[in-house]
Structure 1
Amino acid sequence: MAPNIQSSTIEPEIAADITVDGSKQAKREFKAQIVWRNVAIMTGLHLAGLYGLYLCFTAAQWQTIVCAILLYIISGLGITAGAHRLWSHRAYKAKFPLRVVLTIFNTMAFQNSIYEWSRDHRVHHKYSETDADPHNANRGFFFAHCGWLLCRKHPDVLEKGKTVSCEDLLQDPLVRFQRKFYLPLVFVFCFLLPTVLPNYLWGESFFNAYFVCALLRYTWTLNMTWLVNSAAHFWGRRPYDKHISPAENAVTIIGAIGEGFHNYHHTFPWDYATSELGPKFNLTTCFIDTCAYLGWAYDLKTVSPQVIRQRKERTGDTKDKGPYGYYN
């Protein structure tokens, strides 16, 4: 869920004799330490993205803007249909051609390799809203959105993350290949091609193409992904499990091309559609369904309507019926 920014794994000090309820016990003391190199990278990236947005209104050709939007969707699918639903959750299976396409799309997204993204996401689900959660929403909106990339990891993320199995990921030769050659592949698919192709195909300047199709598109895609970690853990309805923070968030349903049905997803993480609505309002599910029609995707996992209804009645917020027939 993040660009390839290095996070230090230096362990903080261990504090002993901490008074708790009048007694003393050993307790790990943690103080967030900012990684200023990451802050500088993120600041520069967002300033460049804003300049790319300025060029959309002043200098860039309309074809370049359309291209940036298409690349945002394509790279987004590399995260949603690829790293998330396919590799992290094994919610469906994909034949080799589709895995090649999703690997390319994922590389264009530049949010860490498939292996690293999936590993962090599995840790997030297993230890959600605890210190072991890489983007723990209990530490605030900004931390959950992008602050977790700007400071050193909590030691629980490192320690408990080792208990999450990811061996299956490395059985895929495409995951191994991408991981081995990740940075050169990112240079080609995330930055070089989005800069060169607009110039070659319709005569856009390299300058405009770089700032609009590469940097603006990349920055926008990052923030749409991050909103699932932040906004979708703070605001929205909880019709499936009112006891957890993930919520159905309309902004991320659209911006993250279908990933905003977050209360449902954390309740039923194995469902390939991440929603009981199927393809409605869910571009990623439409993409997977199309691939299944073509024979590229198969064994799509779903949850029965009976199980969904029983879960809503047992743990859902029945006072908030909401739109789209959640309680019909």
Structure 2
Amino acid sequence: MSVDTDTRSQASKERPPRAPIWWSNAIFFVSMHVMAIIGVYYYPIWLVPRKTIALCILSWQLASFGITIGYHRLWSHRSFVARRPLRAVLAVMGALGFQGSIKWWCLRHRLHHRFTDDPIHDPYAATRGLWYAHLGWIFRKPRYERIPLVDKDDLEADPIVRLQHQFYIPVAVFFGLVAPTLIAKAWDDALGGYIYGGILARILIWHCTFMINSLAHWEGLQPYTDEVTARGNLVGEDQSFWYDGPILALFTSGEGNHNYHAFPHDFRNGPCAKDWDPSKWIIWALHQFTPLVTRVRRAREEDISRARRWMTYVHGLGKDHLPHEWETLDDDAFFQAVAEVENESQSGRIGQLPETELETWDLTRLESYVQNERRIIILIDGWLVDVTRYMSEHPGGPALLGQHSFKPLLGADPADIKSDLPKDAGWAFNGGMNNHTRTARARMRTLRIARYVP
């Protein structure tokens, strides 16, 4: 399964103007590769001491886990809570990846999740081609118009993030190039430490990370969602290409099960026992046996199950035959509806399910509910959605929900406060600020409490 032809043609039509070349980035990136080739040529690997090879692997893997556990799951998606000593270690490990500071990396990754596959707003959109998604985006310096929409308050409030951002270059250069050289000097192989433990290890972490942006969005399985190009690898089924199997998952510290893109706030990239995900195992062990990880976040099992059931049926019947109302059904109702459609589809009729009947509220009732019950309500497409208990679960953070919540003005005349009446956040929910997944839309519907009528 690959990015379909319609998606590619649509992407080409919407392709943004070519951004200016990022000369400093391009020169550094190319120079590192040239130095690696020259170094390996004049100092071939069969002449390198085993200790130096071990140093190269260690330096590469420390950087890999710094990116997957730190940059990605901790800071980008807030999937677990870590104490300051662990955050400091992960900040140094992430700097080994030579992929920018935590703040720089996370803002662009959050933008990627908000507008996945959008050829204009996704920094490394797979719809712009395999080459661009892998490393083409590195050579350009576009202006991301929607990056101000990305929440960054938590990043700016973290002293570790601020410190690493301020001193990123010296930290990255010292631990990524100088330290391996000094360590290998202990066994009289400073040159090997610089070439293999420094330069080559940086090349490895670059391309292993970039494979997630490219290959993991290009080929593989989609057990959770087909709304984006993200695909899963090493999830127990037969694969078509070498990079769909254990190679990709092993090289990316467990990020190979990338179709779990549908649940970014989960600390697990692979929720099943058979999913290869060492990053998940490390986070779990730190949570269970140390005080360094105080909380982990998991997607609800019913959401995971619903997503898998939906995709199973999509593959069996075909997406065009599925009513959207099915997304909020429980197990019994879902399979009953499936059975009805399977019977009716023989005659070309597809059953439609009635919309859930809820009360109709006016402004007075809404104000009273918010004030007396101390609830947080958002208006989405005419529906009042109670997000009070969902605030801590929201992948985009509670602050974003708070910005769109209703603020009661008891005692005021509605005719005089039209500008302060509930503002419908449907535009934001439906793509203005985030391209919400099928699972997110289903969850939103379960939180509706009433229809709002001004």
TM-score by length of 2: 0.60
C-alpha contact 1:243 1:315 (8 A) present in aligned 2: no
- Distance (whole Å) between structure 2 residues aligned to residue 136 and residue 161 of structure 1: 15
AA in 1 matched with 2:308: K
Structure-2 residue corresponding to 1:226: 210
Q: Which of 306, 311, 316 does residue 302 from structure 2 map onto? A: 306
Deviation string for 1:159-199 (max 9, x for gaps)?
Answer: 11111111111111111111111111112111110111111
Structure-2 residue corresponding to 1:74: 62
Structure-1 residue corresponding to 2:31: 44
Give 1:203 shift.
2.4
Greater Cα offset, 51-60 or 176-185: 51-60
Q: Which of 281, 286, 289 does residue 286 from structure 1 map onto? A: 281
Cα separation, partners in 2 of 1:176 and 1:29, compared to 1, 3 Å:
closer
- Distance (whole Å) between structure 2 residues aligned to residue 228 and residue 78 of structure 1: 15
Give 1:43 shift.
2.1
TM-score by length of 1: 0.82
AA in 2 matched with 1:288: I
- Distance (whole Å) between structure 1 residues aligned to residue 273 and residue 81 of structure 2: 17
Gaps of 5+ in 1: 1-26, 321-328
- Distance (whole Å) between structure 2 residues aligned to residue 300 and residue 122 of structure 1: 19
- Distance (whole Å) between structure 1 residues aligned to residue 30 and residue 283 of structure 2: 35
Cα separation, partners in 2 of 1:246 and 1:173, compared to 1, 3 Å:
same
Cα separation, partners in 2 of 1:74 and 1:56, compared to 1, 3 Å:
farther
- Distance (whole Å) between structure 2 residues aligned to residue 28 and residue 192 of structure 1: 41
Structure-1 residue corresponding to 2:444: none
Structure-2 residue corresponding to 1:255: 251
C-alpha contact 2:111 2:147 (8 A) present in aligned 1: yes
1:187 correspondence with 2:183:
no
Structure-2 residue corresponding to 1:7: none
Cα separation, partners in 2 of 1:198 and 1:238, compared to 1, 3 Å:
same
Cα separation, partners in 2 of 1:176 and 1:295, compared to 1, 3 Å:
same
C-alpha contact 1:194 1:214 (8 A) present in aligned 2: yes
Q: Map of 1:1-328 to 2, 5 A cutoff?
A: 30-54=17-41, 55=43, 57-130=45-118, 131-153=120-142, 155=143, 158-200=144-186, 202-204=187-189, 206-249=190-233, 250=245, 251-264=247-260, 266-277=261-272, 280-292=275-287, 293-315=289-311, 319=315
AA in 2 matched with 1:68: C
Identity of aligned residues (%): 30
C-alpha contact 1:239 1:318 (8 A) present in aligned 2: no
- Distance (whole Å) between structure 2 residues aligned to residue 276 and residue 194 of structure 1: 35
Cα separation, partners in 2 of 1:167 and 1:94, compared to 1, 3 Å:
same
C-alpha contact 1:241 1:317 (8 A) present in aligned 2: no
Greater Cα offset, 272-281 or 220-229: 272-281
Gaps of 5+ in 2: 1-13, 234-244, 317-454
- Distance (whole Å) between structure 1 residues aligned to residue 278 and residue 83 of structure 2: 20
Greater Cα offset, 245-254 or 173-182: 245-254
Cα separation, partners in 2 of 1:230 and 1:316, compared to 1, 3 Å:
farther
Aligned residues: 288
RMSD: 2.1
- Distance (whole Å) between structure 1 residues aligned to residue 139 and residue 209 of structure 2: 16
Give 1:32 shift.
4.3
**Secondary structure, counterpart of 2:141 in structure 1:** coil
AA in 2 matched with 1:165: D
Give 1:236 shift.
0.5
Give 1:208 shift.
1.4
- Distance (whole Å) between structure 2 residues aligned to residue 241 and residue 213 of structure 1: 39
Deviation string for 1:5-51 (max 9, x for gaps)?
Answer: xxxxxxxxxxxxxxxxxxxxxx9961344445543332221222334
- Distance (whole Å) between structure 2 residues aligned to residue 253 and residue 281 of structure 1: 7
